[in-house]
Amino acid sequence: MIADFLIVHFSMIAALAVSVVYQTWAGNAGAAHALVSGFLRYYTVFFGILSPIFPLVFLLNGFYTHSRAYVGRYKALVILRGVAESATIFFAANFLLFGDQKVGRSVALTFMLIAAAGAASVRILKDFLGDRYFLTSKITPSLAPRRDWVLVVGGAGFIGSMLVGRLLEKGHRVRVLDSLLYGDEPLRPVKDHPNFDLMVGDCRNIQDVVRAVRGVESIIHLAAIVGDPACEQDHGPALEINYAATRMLIEIAKGHGVSRFLFASSCSVYGSTEAEMDENAAVHPISLYGQTKVDSECALLDASNDAFHPTILRFATVFGLGYRPRFDLVVNLLTAKARQEGVITIYNGQHWRPFIHVRDLVEAVIGVLEAPARLVGGEIFNVGDSRLNHTLSEVAETIRGVFPGLRVEQVENSDHRNYRVNFDKLVSRTGFRARYTLQDGVEEIRTAFDERTIADYTDLRYHNQRYLKAVGSPPNKDAVDALVMAAFSNHLLDHPAVAAIDALRA
């Protein structure tokens, strides 16, 4: 607001200067002198009194709230509208209150043009700097502004542990509910943080969930058996954790007055299609994993009301390194094979996938969490960047660019997943843009191998499905949990789509 207030004053002085220069250049020295002498009194007495009209009208137009998330041409139109409304009200008030004490039309018109350009330019500059630099507070975490608790369910996972660290950096108080199925190593960097609270528990256990939700304002639900192979290995736990636990969490969250609920879904719900899919497109999941996500989405949107604002986040395919690396993700796995073996196999190379680096994904999630509820509540967002829609053959070529001697083998198989995704809605509501390219992720993994940060990418810890196969699916704590999960999941167990998927595989 201070910046806009100063821009308005600068614009009025600049408009006078333009008019004086023009009049002098045109040989009207007398007119130029009259402009200056009349302007000094006008500016110091009348303009100073009325100038707060501009930031006030800007505020009412959402310049400092929801329109901060707008981008592109629509944002420019909002700024122009705000400046025009402000100037109209200003000159009307000027005429009604002070009569003849006003500036000439040439100064007024120039003033409006400069004010509009200034208001737009300062925002463009801010976006330009934000796209190129990560801005972090110089305040130590312990002195950062305290906020209400954010509960991250599944916060010890690949995405969750990265998200928890960024939330703490931004001053949030973060509670994690996680069974630590894959261990607590990803959370060790933050375990002693004063704004961090770890609750070891199962998202299928009522007592654990109630204890974790108490006192929480927002929930980010990441807990899931992730990926088609891991879900196919054991349908029971997949249905319980991916769907039934979500339904139970919804009821407990609403009962405790939680206002914001972000749910991690997947772009895999789109199945196989040649079209570019946006959030309004029909979903056609071709796996149990995809079906559990679709039904969880429906349960959340059905629960939406004036006090409970769920947001569905359909994640693109993630790549990059985290505190718990994943080498069952296509870009990471292919890069590791290229580095260690010198040959990779691409299945169905012409099929499309949307990709996003894990750090970009974390920034997108936080952007939605911190956006006004009226912009994102009850909404579905594809989370990614349209520039990172790639065919699998393009992925191979990117990896070959980092490893020039790489041999690429092309194979066709029965994996029907094929989808390109449109991410314009996320951009328009939050201004999100990805900072990392596929090449950035590939080079990052190569560096990790070169520096021996990662030794054996085939280690079970880096592969969800193989790890679950080795240690077994997580059991319920007791018989009561099993009965509760059965009650919440009976809808999906009878779902015709699940039966159709099983029949197709058979």
pLDDT category at 141 given cuts 50, 70, 90 is very low
Residue 388, amino acid = L
User: What is the residue range of 108's domain?
Assistant: 2-132
Number of C-beta neighbours around residue 461 at 10 A: 15
Res 414: pLDDT? 75
Residues 158 and 118 in one domain: no
Q: Report residue 27 as tokens.
A: 């040989």
Residues 171 and 257 in one domain: yes
Task: Answer whether residue 377 shows pLDDT above 90.
Answer: yes
CA 70 – CA 63 distance, rounded (Å): 10
Residues 378 and 452 in one domain: yes
* CATH code for the domain of 368: 3.40.50.720
Domain boundary residue among 96, 115, 132?
132
Taking the model in full, what pTM does it have? 0.72
- CA contacts within 13 A on the Cβ side of 502: 11
Q: Which residue has the tokens 């700097």?
A: 129
Q: Crossing angle of helices 330-341/438-450, nearest 10°?
A: 50
Residue 393 lies in a domain: yes
Residues 261 and 364 in one domain: yes
Residues 416 and 454 in one domain: yes
Residue 506 lies in a domain: no
Residues 121 and 149 in one domain: no
pLDDT category at 439 given cuts 50, 70, 90 is very high
Residues 328 and 190 in one domain: yes
Q: Report residue 52 as tokens.
A: 């707060």
Domain boundary residue among 132, 153, 173?
132
Domain count, the chain: 2
Residue 467 lies in a domain: yes
Domain boundary residue among 81, 107, 132?
132
- Which comes out higher in pLDDT, residue 174 or 145? 174
Residues 212 and 270 in one domain: yes
Residues 50 and 148 in one domain: no
Tens digit of each residue's pLDDT (9 = 90 or more) over 338-354: 999 999 999 988 999 99
